Structure 1
């Protein structure tokens, strides 16, 4: 049995992966936060139910996923009565283990995780720290698990996920450029989504480093080489690094 405090998009994705088209899905208890999402999940899956309050989730489940906004975490945790046997799995970005242990005392085990939306399709590679059997068991149900050796490594993984919107904006820029050349906007979006979607699939299949794959997608004097050289000359890689540094600084307080 798993309990969830907070019923937003990431909770919905995990619960979907745990429950949809599964022969023996686990029982899931949801807090009333995000009631519309919670009620929809409960209506779709017979093993999912919405509790009257957050404390009921804790009273019935020993493994509890915390998925609230960072500014709400302290208040939510402080209002609850935890037991030593509780495993608190925090999907809240930027809240270190030492703080979580203080706020959720006397819960015995605290784990930080970075679940991805692909959990809904059981394709999330979920970073966790520290490695914990309860967290590993849960997230193995919705994909694979990557255990970070140190909390500072975990923070770096968390920073990397801040690039999603920028990556999508990059693809949007390409699709918009195609439309500016007279291509139908729907076709421009479909083409851009397809070629980069297929590229993403190839990344999963290959074991080469990303630098090696970059080289394989260029020929000397070719268009890919020219485009990459332009971006490097304009300082795009350094801009990305600096932005990631700032996110990491923010995450580490």
Structure 2
């Protein structure tokens, strides 16, 4: 397997590197050797932790050294600073540029990483660390596919527009967790011990999430399975719909999508 270089060493880089390097990762358990990984010096605490845990990981002195050490380059810097970071780097035609930067189009990427020719956008998830990320990738590319197959599965939409829709959907994570925090706080406000309230909410929704991984039914079917006519689940769902919650979610996602395409 070819070496991979990472520009940016935040949470997503850490998850991918752990997912392909840890002895307990599915790829390693199956007998595949870990690829050589070259990390940029940014966020040195993260990079040093990874290098200390995995012998295949090496920290480079500069970002340019990362580019000189690997042909496949994963860009995982914050989109707001991407242009400035990449402006200081010299890419080569043979570089395969794999961007995990939300909202940075292939057209922008082409301008910022010229003369590199192979450009790919991906949406890896934090669950890459345990080999469970369903990564969205466009366009398909064998080098990128080899990396992300090791940390889970792949979805390859037919065009970049669809990838951006997937990217917008990931903006719902914090809102979902805040929904769970609201339920937990409500339990505590009604006299439930805070620790018990957190444990119970974590358990019931964690179990629900796990069950989804083993089902192929539509969400409409699953919704109906989790409520009975005249029951309390139906009551809450009806109340939320009456108050426009689904429309609020759709509008928020539309606004995120507009931002990603601007």
Aligned match for 1:97, one of 84, 98, 106: 106
| Structure 1 gap ranges (5+) | none
Counterpart in 1 of 2:15?
13
Counterpart in 1 of 2:6?
4
Counterpart in 1 of 2:85?
76
Counterpart in 2 of 1:212?
221
Counterpart in 2 of 1:186?
195
Q: CA shift at 1:76, angstroms? A: 1.6
Q: CA shift at 1:79, angstroms? A: 1.3
Counterpart check, 1:248 vs 2:257: yes
TM-score with structure 1 setting the length: 0.99
**C-alpha distance in 1 between matches for 2:252 and 2:143:** 34
| Structure 2 gap ranges (5+) | none
Aligned match for 1:121, one of 126, 130, 134: 130
Counterpart in 1 of 2:165?
156
Aligned to 1:125, the other structure's residue is in SS state: strand
How well do the aligned residues superpose, as a CA RMSD in angstroms?
Answer: 0.7
Counterpart check, 1:38 vs 2:47: yes
Aligned match for 2:63, one of 32, 45, 54: 54
How does 1:157-172 map onto structure 2 within 5 Å? 157-172=166-181
| Residues matched between the structures, number | 253
69-78 or 4-13, larger mean C-alpha shift? 69-78
Q: CA shift at 1:248, angstroms? A: 0.3
Q: CA shift at 1:212, angstroms? A: 1.1
**C-alpha distance in 1 between matches for 2:71 and 2:64:** 12
Aligned match for 2:234, one of 225, 231, 240: 225
